[in-house]
Amino acid sequence: AELGRIRVVKVKPHDKDAKMKYQECNKIVKQKAFERAIAGDEHKRSVVDSLDIESMTIEDEYSGPKLEDGKVTVTFMKELMQWYKDQKKLHRKCAYQTEKITVCGDTHGQFYDLLNIFELNGLPSETNPYIFNGDFVDRGSFSVEVILTLFGFKLLYPDHFHLLRGNHETDNMNQIYGFEGEVKAKYTAQMYELFSEVFEWLPLAQCINGKVLIMHGGLFSEDGVTLDDIRKIERNRQPPDSGEGGGALSPQNGRSVSKRGVSCQFGPDVTKAFLEDNHLDYIIRSHEVKAEGYEVAHGGRCVTVFSAPNYCDQMGNKASYIHLRGSDLRPQFHQFTAVPHPDVKPMAYASTLLQLGMM
């Protein structure tokens, strides 16, 4: 079209209409060239990032091949080839399907809410991997059921189901907040000792694609910590301070003593420095109840996810889990609310003093 305008202008140099249309066309061409130049300077984003696969529905009338739990199988491939042979089209959801990983925060012995996560998001599998970010036990009175379920899936899918240690996977916390008492009531003291040993071997953090670091509480009381430093931490032990530690968020720069009095709060400058030192995009942590089940803080660099709705049957909070997918692993938040559970109160197995405090 532009070449046509140029020819018209050359043939009829005094034609005002042709000149005007040529100028308009020239502007559009220059604008497109400018947009391409800008796009070339930016980090190219994957098309995957713009897809909302979960909202795609497979209509009832579609009778073609479907993925089994999101997984390509031999049966699927045979059906697919026959489907194509019959000159039919695979459903776009199956064509687009990409793997995601689900990150959950604190579950704190709320077994029936854990079941609800699996109901909403699907059971763990090789094509539906999970990371649970610590604090599986204590406070809620179904901690044994939670931890044995999580351990079972870890044994079933060791490479696709991951458990990170929280500050409640420690002896001091378990003695106070109920897990030790619950295990002894339902099993034996020896069973609790075995749980204690296993907790000591749980990893402290997990890095996804060199972009996102997941850890339970948050960042450290000093600058300059690297991923290699975290890898070198001796795991087979109780932490130096088994209190309610692990790092709390602060909107203010720097570090200060947390409201709990036994760990440090860290501000946006601390997060920024840590991410830059380790070439990471952002961190995901848990550890703190949030009214909406999640919080994005520190300019998007620090995400909190909390997966125990109506915490301790009294907080009224929503809970959430996160989906990570795509080239930049942008977090997608999925909220849910509490479901009913048998009439056993939270902290039923906690120390006597705490039980009195809950009344």
| Structure-block tokens of residue 133 | 């970010």
DSSP 178: S
347: left (phi over 0), alpha (psi -120 to 50) or beta: left
**E-strand spans in 158-306?**
161-163, 205-208, 212-215, 248-249, 255-257, 264-266, 282-285, 294-297, 302-305
Q: Which residues, 6+ apart, have CB-to-CB distance to 13 below 8 Å?
A: none
CB neighbour burial string for 266-288, b if at least 16 within 10 angstroms, e if fewer: bbbebbeebbeebebbbbbbbbb
Q: Rounded to the nearest 5°, which phi and psi values hold at 229?
A: -60, -40
- Give catalytic residues, as residue numbers: 168
SS3 65: coil
Residue written as token pair 């990893």: 203
Rounded to the nearest 10°, the torsion over CA 103, 104, 105, 106 is: -150
Q: Sign of torsion, CA 66 67 72 76?
A: negative
**E-strand spans in 194-336?**
205-208, 212-215, 248-249, 255-257, 264-266, 282-285, 294-297, 302-305, 319-325, 330-336
DSSP 128: B
